[in-house]
Amino acid sequence: MENIGYYNGTFAPIEQLKIPALDRGVYFGDGVYEALRVERHRFFALKEHLTRFRDSLTFMHIAFPMTDEALTAILQEAADRVDSDSQQLYFQVTRGTAIRTHAFPEEVQANLMIFSRGVPLADLQEYRRVVVLPDTRWGHCNIKSLNLIPSVLAAQTAKERGCSEAVFHKDGIVSECSSSNLLLLKDGILRTAPSDERILPGVTRAHFLMIAREIGVTVDESTFTLEEMQDADELMITSTSAHGLPVGFVDDKPVCGRDAALLRRLQKAYRDYFWSCIDANE
């Protein structure tokens, strides 16, 4: 199959999947989600994704009694039903199905939805364009909730301006991108915003920083400004499918390209590590 969907025990192609109109995810975005990378029908960093997923559930006070083992079995079945060897798998849990009231409904069961489809890993060779926008998101960006309208609007603005991503800032302090983390190279040092409530603690980000340290690159997890971003030797985007995507233009102004050797070294080291993890899961 080209893709698969799942909702509370039922598998179907994504286009045929149906959910109740009163699922609280529909009218409140009352739920949390994760996105996994699947290569050769094996997951990358599943344990870390499940840990972040459970942290988000706890913050949102959503009861989801399914064990990680049971959830993993369903995720694996979903991945196995898709023919592609390179997939992006998404899963979400909402609080439940109930008549619309703001307070939590009583005696409801959480809803689990999954879908997966073939998506290749991002090409790391081409330098991308980004646009800078004010960060108008809520104060808990470390929680992977379904409420993503500021990111959706930012992504649309980026698309309309011919850019791959939007970079968020508050009062000139850079946080991250609309759906990814941002890393900066300057004088051989790899910098990125600290992992706090202002950014999503990206799984790829964490592994990328780990690999950078292992190959002898100094890592500095501290805030940086828009001016420092503009003056970076290199800028890189990391996400589930983007493993150090290079940035060459910010608001149509050419930037970076001054330390391509270290950029490519980091990209290769991470991709080699990524594939070694996939091989270890086979």
Q: Read out DSSP for the chain?
A: --EEEEETTEEE-GGG----TTBHHHHT--EEEEEEEEETTEESSHHHHHHHHHHHHHHHT------HHHHHHHHHHHHHTS--SEEEEEEEEES-B-S--SSPPSS---EEEEEEEE-PPPPSSSPEEEEEEE----S-TTS-BS--HHHHHHHHHHHHTT-SEEEEEETTEEEEESSSEEEEEETTEEEE--SSTTS---HHHHHHHHHHHHTT-EEEE---BHHHHHT-SEEEEESSS-EEEEEEEETTEE---S-HHHHHHHHHHHHHHHHHHHHHT-
Q: Which active-site residues does the annotation give?
A: 144
